[in-house]
A and B are shown apart, each in its own frame.
Chain A
């Protein structure tokens, strides 16, 4: 089985632009979560979707939004990019929506805002 796949792997954007990151979960997994990881820190929770419904939202501004499609893939959108949005964006999928379920992470998308 393929693992969690994210695209693109690397991305360079200019301040003020918009970006869309994509994630395909492991087949059969209905929960997708997004995390932001800046250099030297642990991943920070952004969103969780389960069965196409938002189940959780971290402490991120409204410039960040996400959605989950009928096939359980997901998109993370970030508007009006700031330099501080430069980070590794990770997607994780799991069978269930609780933290006691093993989460499988993708390789991430490295976003650089210049």
Chain B
């Protein structure tokens, strides 16, 4: 099962760009890399997903090098409302039934944005 490693916490100021890097050395060929955001007492919310190179949407960019052993979530010009825990996930393959439906969350990165 692919595991991820990311910093426990990060601090930033409003208006700055924030980059959160995640290591996933054992990522499988078929796995995508997905990032979720979670506010206190709420369920995680999908931010972005990618397989290789760069993906950009209206809230973030995801950079994935050629070896896919790491990825970087980039949040442009953060605001106070971006204070949350950010999780990096890669696909999981179970040993039976061929199902890959369970998401494996680590402890995530707690981002604190200050004024």
Residues of A bordering B, CB below 8 Å: 4, 31, 33, 35, 40-45, 48, 50, 55-56, 58, 88, 90-92, 94, 97-100, 102-108, 110
Partner among A4, A31, A99, A105 whose Cβ is within 8 Å of the Cβ of B89: A99
A105 near B43 (CB under 8 angstroms)? yes
Whether, in the assembled complex, B13 has its beta carbon less than 8 Å from a beta carbon of chain A, the answer is no
Chain B contacts of A91 at CB under 8 A? 43
Q: How many residues of B contact A (CB 8 A)?
A: 29
Residues 83-115 of B, flagged 1 when their CB comes within 8 A of A and 0 if not, give: 001010111101001011111111110000000
Q: Would you call B97 and A55 a contact (CB within 8 A)?
A: yes
CB distance from B77 to the nearest CB of A (A): 24
User: For the complex, what is the distance from the CA of A106 to the CA of B42, rounded to whole Å?
Assistant: 8
- Of the candidates A50, A105, A107, which one forms a contact with B99 in the assembled complex, judged by CB atoms under 8 Å apart? A50
Interface pairs A-B: 7 shortest CB-CB: A105-B43, A42-B105, A55-B99, A45-B102, A99-B91, A48-B101, A97-B101
Interface residues of B (CB under 8 A from A): 30-32, 34, 41-46, 49, 85, 87, 89-92, 94, 97, 99-108
